[in-house]
Structures are given as structure tokens and as C-alpha cells.
Amino acid sequence: MYLGIDIGTSSVKAVLMDGSGQLVAQGSAPLTVERPHPLWSEQNPESWWEATVAAVRALPERERQAVKGIGLSGQMHGATLLDRADRPLRPAILWNDGRCEAECAELEKNEPRSRTITGNIAMPGFTAPKLLWVRNHEPDIFAKVKTVLLPKDYVRLRLTGEKAGDMSDNSGTLWLDVGKREWSDAMLEATGLTRDHMPKAVEGTAATGKLSAAVAEELGVPQVVVAGGGGDNAASAVGVGVVAPGQAFLSLGTSGVLFVVTDKFRPNPEKAAHAFCHCIPGVWHQMSVILTAASAIDWVAQITGVNNVVQAVAAAEKRGLTDRTPIFLPYLSGERTPHNDPYARGVFFGLSAETTPADLAYSVLEGVAFAFADGMDVLKEAGSHVGDVTVVGGAARLPYWGPMLASALDVPLTYREGGEVGGAFGAARLGLLAATGGDPVTVCTAPKVSKIVEPVSALKDQMAPRRALFTDLYKSLKPSFREFGR
């Protein structure tokens, strides 16, 4: 058995995979996000550990005792600040926190080569600007920082006592020279840090220590090796066999990701595309990221009183597109690709007295699809060839969304067995690779296809003028977003 642990934003997931690559069991435990001020998003690192213990112990005891290796996956970018005793100094600042826009400009001023070194534009979601914010606004805490870890790597520290971070997760800090796959002294200096503040940089397939005896007893798992692991998206790619150049996936989680594997470092920072290391050695990837995806459907179901995502989507399907269906801008938490705008907000345009909850649900599904299409354009502009696109994430189970997404992206979408498990399954595969030294290409095969959804010509024709209006609305409202958010 191999154990995969995914430290998400809304929950920690744990899965068991057998040696043949079959999913055996899964467990989870919820997490909550604190938003004490506008643009802020934080979590207590201790909650990750408590949820990890609960999720793992929810797995069958007999199978847990047969575990031979563990892999980790997790939400990216979260700034977890530790003192000399490895205790958190403050709540972790998360990936969807937008407070440090000014520090992004400060970082790129401090190091003008930032985009060349990291391959990415400085965004509020990344880790390095968060540390500048702490230095500027909480100097007493900054002075006490001994180590900065990402969420999954804090859990690794609790599991093994080791401080390590894999290349894919490290890529999202703005402290990594992504092309060279090593920490950048120049980028660290730009935030007042050194390599001494960083964990050891490793590949996702590398072994990073073993469970301590006390933790092994607490989890009911042998003292086995823990893999370097991966950021949530890179680990998801491993889980669905997206490891070769041109292979891609579409992630329908809290946020949304269009991920394509590249043969080399291919940055496009000006359009807010991400160019990161993969968690497989010698491979890179590009991502377009939208900050609100499936979470927008949860939101619209709640505000319309449906309180059931499946029912909301079914109502949207039954209603269909009418000449009075509003346009929705899905920027409930700001946006990354292609706008890099923390002030952007959600908008329904075209509401009338005849608008129904089903119309709103349809608008949300369509608006998120348009945001993904913006990201596809950016990846193609950066030189990526996007071939087979696999759908992953919890919202992959929503059947009506598939044709809309395929039509907006103008590519077929492949649904695979277990695609909704996401990063936890990929983490289990990385645990196997660390324990056995196996070949990633042999281990990380694509799961069986359950269905392929093709673009729908009629739907493409209907969506084209609405996407043009979608684009114009953001351009028109951008100055108002900034004024509203100040």
C-alpha cells in the first residue's frame, strides 16, 4: 500500500493505493479559511496537522499497516512562518490572499530580473511578496522568522522532522530559479532572506526522511519513507498520467487550472501564465490559473437557496441559454490569468425581473468556462501545444458542464476513472516512486477513460458573441474594481 496526503484549502484528503496502482480507500477531514480583513485569507497550520491525522486515521486500519511509502500534495504558495523552535509565528497566508499588491511591485523593483529568473510575474498569491508584506507590516514577526515552509512541507516537518520542498511547489514561491531548478540567491535577497530560511530543494520523487516513531504510532502507519511530493496541480498531473510534453489537464476545484506539460522552461509572465517545474525530474509545465472555479457553483447554489450543486446544475441544463441569460464575471476572489487583478470581483450583467435562479446557475457555469478559455489563449500564445486534456477535480462529476467547457476551449475533454481524487492519488504515486526508485513514465500512466466530451458546434456559435461581451465587460469595469476595492 502507498499513502497519498493532499493538504487542500477546504479539506485534507488521504488515499491508499495498492502496488498495482488501484485506489483502495480514501478519507478526508474539513478545513476552514479565516478572512479577518478584506483581501485576507489565512489558516492555522495546526489545523492542517489535525486534519491530516483525522483523514489518515479514517482509512482502514489493516491497509494502513501495510503502507510502504507516503507522498504529499498541497495547496501552493501559502506562507508558513516558523521560529527557531519550528513553531508557527502567525496564521499562514494562503494562495488566494490578495493583500500584498504593493509588495509585488516592490519585489520586482528590488530585483529587476525577477521575471527572467522565476518565469513569472509577481502576484499577490505568490509567497515572496507575502514575506515582504510581513516585513513591512509585522516587522517584529519578520525578525523572528527562521524558516518559511509551504503548507504540505509543514506537514512533512510534523511527519518526519525534515525540512524539504519539491521543485513544483517551490516554483510558486518566486524564490526559485525555475529554469535551473535551484533556489535563487538574488530573489531571496530581494525579500531580506537567504537560503538558510529555505527548506532543502528536492525532486518530487526523492525520499525526504521517514515517519518518526511517535507519528507512526499516532497514524497507525509503519515508519516508511516520505516522498518530496508536489504542489497540488503537479501531483494531480502525476495522478492522471500527465507527464509528457503536450499532455494537459483541466482542474475543476476551488480554483481552476489549465495545466500543460512542456519539454523545457517556457515562461509567459506578461500574460500572468505560470511557468513551473513539474514534480517529475527534468520536466516543466505551464499553467493558467483562475481563482474561482467550482466554488462559484457552490456559491450560486447557496445564494439562490438551492443549497445543492447537482440540483443547481440540473436546473441550468433544463433552462438552457435564453436571450435574457446574464453574463457572469467569475472573479469572486480576484483573478490571476490573464488579468493579475486582486481587485476584480464577481459581476452579473443583464439581470432583469425575469431572471431565475436557473439563469444565474447557467451564467456561472458559462462565466467560468470563459475564464478558462482566456487561459487557453495565453498558453497557446506562450508556445504550448495542448493535446489531450484530462478533466480532474471534484466538479468533474457534473456532466452538463463538460460540453460547455469543451466548446469554450474548443478541444475534446477526456474524463478518466478516479479523476476526482486529484492530488492525493498523484501523491501516492510519488510515494511509490520514492520507496521503490521506479520509473515515473512506467508508474504514472493514464487511468482508464470513462468518456470523452467533444465541443458542440451549436454551443460554440452561441457562446462566441457572449464571450466577446464577457471580455469587454472586464475591460470596462477594471478601473471601477480598483476603486471599489481600496
Residue 155's CB is within 10 A of a number of other CB atoms, namely: 24
First to last CA, the chain: 51
What is the three-class DSSP state of 149? Answer: strand
* Alpha-carbon span 125 to 421, nearest angstrom: 24
Residue 126's CB is within 10 A of a number of other CB atoms, namely: 27
Question: DSSP per residue over 322-364, as a string?
Answer: -TTPPEEE--BTBB-TTT-BTT---EEES--TT--HHHHHHHH
Contact 301, 398 (CB under 8 A): no
* Alpha-carbon span 82 to 141, nearest angstrom: 10
Contact 93, 131 (CB under 8 A): no
Cβ contacts of 464 within 8 Å, gap of 6 or more: none
Cβ contacts of 99 within 8 Å, gap of 6 or more: 37, 39, 40, 93, 124, 133
Contact 37, 261 (CB under 8 A): no
Contact 386, 246 (CB under 8 A): yes
C-alpha grid cell, residue 78: 501559502
* Alpha-carbon span 342 to 127, nearest angstrom: 15
* Alpha-carbon span 391 to 353, nearest angstrom: 36
Q: What angle do CA 157, 158, 164 make, to 5 degrees?
A: 10
Contact 62, 124 (CB under 8 A): no
Contact 139, 89 (CB under 8 A): no
* Alpha-carbon span 203 to 71, nearest angstrom: 12
Residue 272 φ then ψ, to 5°: 65, 25
* Alpha-carbon span 272 to 328, nearest angstrom: 21
Is residue 232 among the annotated active site residues? Answer: yes
C-alpha grid cell, residue 432: 511509490
* Alpha-carbon span 246 to 257, nearest angstrom: 15
| Residue 342 preceded by cis peptide, ω within 30 | no
| From 6, 166, 232, 388, the catalytic residue | 232
Residue owning grid cell 435574457: 324
Query: Would you name the residues annotated as active-site residues?
Result: 232
